[in-house]
Structure 1
């Protein structure tokens, strides 16, 4: 849409000041060569490229003297020719813009989720079908917006990756444009460096705590990690950067060495490491793992508090705004359709827990 608006704007300027442009530009060879090179590197099927081609034709015509202001042709004849050219250009632009609009309507968007919580937001039912409020929301927003969408289950690193404590970055599928957006992500300052976020679509209790063996046989102190080995789950916001948020009240964070930071692909591996005393504790958010602790593990300490808000968002590439998703979600919140959907979600998926609907 930005490109389309730019086309319309430039066309308007060209129409309004076309006569002056011919005087100022003088249509030298260098200008034409530069414009042709610009056309070469652009998408050959875009409306913008078609517009450039049209201008190229006008430049070539003018260079041959068709609209040469220095010629001694009758001014009325020149005016008629210019008006005829503008009419042809207007018809061309109308066709290309309509083509772009129709092509956009036919586009299929891929919106992904990953099984990050096995909760009412996202889970696999007994028939091995992906269910949850995230899937409901994708279907509802796309239908309301009149867009064609497909849902895809992906591993978390297809959407976002921060392996081994490094700064997170957009995942391979998101960067590679196999996926347009991923739902189910909390907003953090470091993540915002590499991806853009949609408006929030559900609240989520993101209390971040240490997990230890039940009864704390290792006498782990959640306010002092000096010399301790801490586990982290790859791809989640509960990484070393999250822990650093509590450096003012937890001793030993700044002096942690790389061998004290253990990153694993999932919480099951971290629980096993904890079970066999390979780590002293690991960091996670409460709702992610509560149902898996049973009587063998427990939480300890206070909330680290390392997220920008307590809600879930979709993430997308920064060059792919998908503004229609936010616009539609906002409209659904205002007309009540979002709240009806969320209420129905609590009925359909209530056996997996409670969906915390947005209040605005």
Structure 2
């Protein structure tokens, strides 16, 4: 019931800030729908989640019609450059490395990352404490960049195409720990295979994780960037992201 009410409040707030528009520009938005509750495919085959709801609110406020497509995370930038998609909304952090090839809007959320291991693990999150350990991470992510920069000389880093494969190898004992978005980790702990696991050490808040999550766009697509940023400003002012955060996570990740 709380989720239904939160969704209704967000919808009413959105109606108050979105102008009537007969025909809106269509934009194809790429996302890897494998990160519940951020974005995932529901039982009806629809891409849903916190970031999808927020993205649709941003698009509506920007007077854009967004069509979502499921794309592997490490293929998103290539598909953007090849014009198979027009924008990326897939919890992609704004980093200097990525800004060399694509543009980003201002951020629309930011969540800390963390190490995850079995509960009761005696892992110490330091170069000496992790020495010789096997740490899993999804390739192409800021988590992978962080591990490479901080621990490449002391740990064995195993990179996987998907986060599901990382967690599978952790459960099967092939990894000592993994690095993951803290909200995704918290959601995984609620599942049967995630029980008995928890965060190890402090939340990770390093410049290597970027400046927050923004909409990824092709270089020089300034008009679309301006539209998206107008949408971000509008929904932020209306408090919609905070309402959607409560709906999907039960907490306000904007605090």
Tell me whether the two structures share a fold, i.e. TM-score over 0.5.
yes
- Give the aligned length: 223
User: Which of residues 156, 175, 178 is equivalent to 2:73?
Assistant: 156
User: Which of residues 30, 35, 53 is equivalent to 1:112?
Assistant: 30
Distance 1:325 1:221, change over 3 A: same
| CA offsets 1:206-231 (integer angstroms, 9 cap, x no match) | 2x222222322xx4332222222221
Shift of 1:305: 2.2
1:298 alignment counterpart: 198
Note the residue ranges of structure 2 that are not aligned, 5 or more in a row: 1-22
Q: Give me the CA root mean square deviation.
A: 3.1
- Taking the aligned partners of 1:272 and 1:140, their CA distance within structure 2 comes to 34
The alignment partner of 1:185 has SS state of: coil
| CA offsets 1:332-358 (integer angstroms, 9 cap, x no match) | 258x4x42x4366357xx2x3247476
1:198 alignment counterpart: 105
- Taking the aligned partners of 1:329 and 1:197, their CA distance within structure 2 comes to 14
Contact 2:106 2:229 in 1 (8 A): no
Contact 2:137 2:158 in 1 (8 A): yes
Note the residue ranges of structure 1 that are not aligned, 5 or more in a row: 1-104, 160-170, 248-252
User: Which of residues 226, 243, 253 is equivalent to 1:324?
Assistant: 226
Which of the pair is proportionally richer in helix? 1
Shift of 1:116: 4.8
- Taking the aligned partners of 1:295 and 1:139, their CA distance within structure 2 comes to 33
Q: Where do residues 34-49 of structure 1 align in structure 2 (5 Å cutoff)? A: none
| CA offsets 1:75-127 (integer angstroms, 9 cap, x no match) | xxxxxxxxxxxxxxxxxxxxxxxxxxxxxx886321223225311x4333443
- Taking the aligned partners of 1:285 and 1:262, their CA distance within structure 2 comes to 17
User: Which of residues 197, 205, 215 is equivalent to 1:314?
Assistant: 215
Contact 1:132 1:345 in 2 (8 A): no
Distance 1:271 1:177, change over 3 A: same
The alignment partner of 1:261 has SS state of: strand
Contact 2:31 2:88 in 1 (8 A): yes
- Taking the aligned partners of 2:170 and 2:31, their CA distance within structure 1 comes to 28
Contact 2:59 2:231 in 1 (8 A): no
| CA offsets 1:188-247 (integer angstroms, 9 cap, x no match) | 33333322111222x3322x222222322xx433222222222111232111x21356x4
Shift of 1:331: 5.1
- Taking the aligned partners of 1:303 and 1:142, their CA distance within structure 2 comes to 31
- Taking the aligned partners of 1:137 and 1:215, their CA distance within structure 2 comes to 36
User: Which of residues 180, 194, 215 is equivalent to 1:284?
Assistant: 180
Q: Given the two structures, how large is their TM-score scaled by the length of structure 1?
A: 0.53
Contact 2:242 2:252 in 1 (8 A): no
Which of the pair is proportionally richer in strand? 2
Which entry has the higher C-alpha Rg, 1 or 2?
Answer: 1
1:275 aligns with 2:171: yes
1:237 alignment counterpart: 142
1:129 aligns with 2:46: yes
Distance 1:189 1:325, change over 3 A: same
The alignment partner of 2:107 has SS state of: coil
